[in-house]
Amino acid sequence: MVEGRVQEAKDQIERLEQVQNSFDALQAFYWNKFVGNYYHMELSEFTKALRFYQEAESIMDKLDLLDDEKADLLYVISILHSKLVNDLSALEYANKALSIFRNSYKFVRCAQCHIILGISYRRLHMLEEAIKQYNLAKHLGEITDNNDVIQLTNHNLGYLHSRAGNSIEAIEFYKTAFNLKNVPLNYKLTTVTSLIREYIITKEFTEAETYIVKAEQIMDENSIGSKLVKLEIKVFKAILSEDHHQYEDLITNHLIPYLLDQEDKVYIIIYSNMIAAHYEDIKKYKNAAYYYKLASKSYEDLLKI
């Protein structure tokens, strides 16, 4: 999987599945971690991935593993809990991993844990603690010259300010994150869609158009871009061209059904509220009520997790 040979990884899983009952404890540990990685990173089936990781965790303490190997598993479990919005569990596992990485002076890994902690504290509305965690991560990224970490912390600080309604601060953090050199292009695409959305919120349409062009250039030149990013860019272009019919069609028939299929409740809330406000503006109150209700239900579902 590290080399991008996904089909070969899938074939190997299918072969080993037949003999997994004969694995000793060490083999079972690596089997569960490897299959967890496959469901996590290749299929984005987070609940299924978490089950495999937790099985590996149940074996871990019986084995003579390096501390960093244990910490790595605890960290990826924290990532899954964060993606599934299990914030208290994400805090627990990120703190466990952090304590091990700190003892072995793995500063980049510590920074990654601080980012997970920051995300969790933000969702729990503990904003000062979230900012503290992000700044710790950013500092560790700077002293190790790790632009991936610096980019992620700036992006998450941007998102924190966006959710708090501080668009000016959000835009500055997003721009800093986007303009960093030598970071994965998929990180840049995630950031640029957030930046464009913020410019649309503040009605800075010329700036939004500028960054749409930059996003499309990245996608075209590198043949990348997730389905979500591509749909978002289409939505933004429909907004800027004032093509209300296309805007409604993209969100209601394409973007929201995709988000529902992915169970991406955070983005369901964002885009349901966006289209509901649009319908309210044009006095289609029945449609507005439907999407406000969908946003409300998604928010309630998040609180139950």
Domain for residue 292, yes or no? yes
Q: What is the per-residue pLDDT across 94-120, written as a single tens digit (0 to 9) for each?
A: 999 999 999 999 999 999 999 999 999
CA 26 to the chain's CA centroid: 31
Domain for residue 273, yes or no? yes
Tokens of 9: 């990884």
Looking at the structure, tell me whether residues 193 and 261 fall in a common domain.
no
Q: In this structure, how many other beta carbons lie within 10 angstroms of the beta carbon of residue 103?
A: 11
Domain for residue 279, yes or no? yes
- Measured between alpha carbons, how far is 164 from 128 in angstroms, rounded to an integer? 12
Domain for residue 31, yes or no? no
**pLDDT confidence tier of residue 18, bands split at 50, 70 and 90:** low
Tokens 């809990």 correspond to 81
Tokens 């004969």 correspond to 22
| pTM score of the predicted model | 0.87
Q: What is the DSSP string of 27-59?
A: HHHHHHHHHHHIIIIIS--HHHHHHHHHHHHHH
Q: How many independent structural domains does the chain possess? A: 2
Tokens of 171: 């835009």
Q: What's the pLDDT score for residue 291?
A: 98
Domain for residue 120, yes or no? no
pLDDT surpasses 60 at 84: yes
Tokens 């668009």 correspond to 167
Looking at the structure, tell me whether residues 255 and 294 fall in a common domain.
yes
pLDDT mean over 286-305? 89
- Where a domain ends, among 227, 262, 277? 227
Domain for residue 177, yes or no? yes
| Polymer length of the chain | 305
Domain for residue 138, yes or no? no
Handedness of CA 118, 262, 200, 291 (dihedral sign): negative
Q: Which domain holds residue 215?
A: 146-227
Q: How would you class 49 by CB atoms within 10 Å of its CB: exposed for 0-12, middle for 13-18, buried for 19 or more?
A: buried
**Who contacts 165 (Cβ-Cβ below 8 Å, separation ≥6)?**
none
pLDDT mean over 248-266? 94
- Where a domain ends, among 192, 227, 262? 227
Tokens 């990348």 correspond to 224
**Quick one: CA torsion of 99, 105, 111, 114, rounded to 10 degrees?**
20
**pLDDT confidence tier of residue 121, bands split at 50, 70 and 90:** very high
